[in-house]
Amino acid sequence: MAKVYAVYSRVDKSLFSHAIRWRITPKGEKLFPYSHVGLILEPDKKLITLDSLVTESSVKGKGVHFSTLKSFMSHASAYLVTELNEPTDCFDDLLNLAKRYEGTKYDLKGAIGLGVGENWQEDDAFWCSEWFAFKMKKIAMSFMRNDIEHRIDPRHCFLWPQTPITLSF
């Protein structure tokens, strides 16, 4: 069984990053610390290096693309790597999904909240957390079975059962 690893980030100097964090933080709570999420394409923590591939969807990357963990982290003021608590036997499916959807456009309208009525489970455009959730749903992770959220943001992904991990490079 393989593990699934998420990487969350924020960019303190980015107005867009701050706006997303403000938008996804429930009223009265401390500002959510992350505005972006990606998926590290390694099935075991021991295999994660700075050269490990990350699949993400971003404005800068013009949608779904691959980067390295080093590149992902270099754009961040702060980041956190987590291991989802549920293992999967569908890791190869994650890789294939990432390859198949590479180049899918970024859903800017949805990311900033203008996509009222949009279904995040459609596969024509993704913002970061929508892309992450889409993959988790496709590999049938149990925490996605009864998901009725219409809009998936990085905070929703962060609330899934997972454990922060420390990597030593």
Residue 32 reports pLDDT greater than 90: yes
CA angle 105-109-112, nearest 5°?
A: 120
On whether the CB atoms of residues 116 and 138 are closer than 8 A, the answer is no
Q: Report strand pairing: 78-84 vs 36-40.
A: unpaired
Q: String of b and e for 73-108 (b: at least 16 CB within 10 Å)?
A: bebbeebbbbbbebebebbeebeebbeebeebebbe
The residue-averaged pLDDT of 122-146 equals 89
pLDDT band of residue 147 (cuts 50, 70, 90) is low
Beta-strand ranges (E) seen in 3-52 are 5-10, 36-40
The residue-averaged pLDDT of 40-44 equals 98
**Is this prediction's pTM over 0.85?**
yes
Contacts (Cβ under 8 Å, ≥6 apart) of 34: 8, 9, 10, 21, 78, 79, 80, 154, 155, 158
How many Cβ atoms are within 10 Å of 53's Cβ, its own excluded? Answer: 16
For residue 72, what pLDDT is reported? 97
On whether the CB atoms of residues 31 and 14 are closer than 8 A, the answer is no
pLDDT band of residue 143 (cuts 50, 70, 90) is confident
Q: Of 13-27, 107-121, 138-152, which one has max mean pLDDT?
A: 13-27
Report the chain's mean pLDDT, rounded to a whole number. 91
Domains in the chain: boundaries: 5-165
Tokens of 76: 């961040």
On whether the CB atoms of residues 3 and 44 are closer than 8 A, the answer is yes
Residue 50 reports pLDDT greater than 80: yes
Torsion of the alpha carbons at 105, 81, 24 and 120, rounded to the nearest 10: 40
Could you tell me which CATH number the domain at 5-165 has?
3.90.1720.10
For residue 115, what pLDDT is reported? 53
Tokens of 25: 């933080």
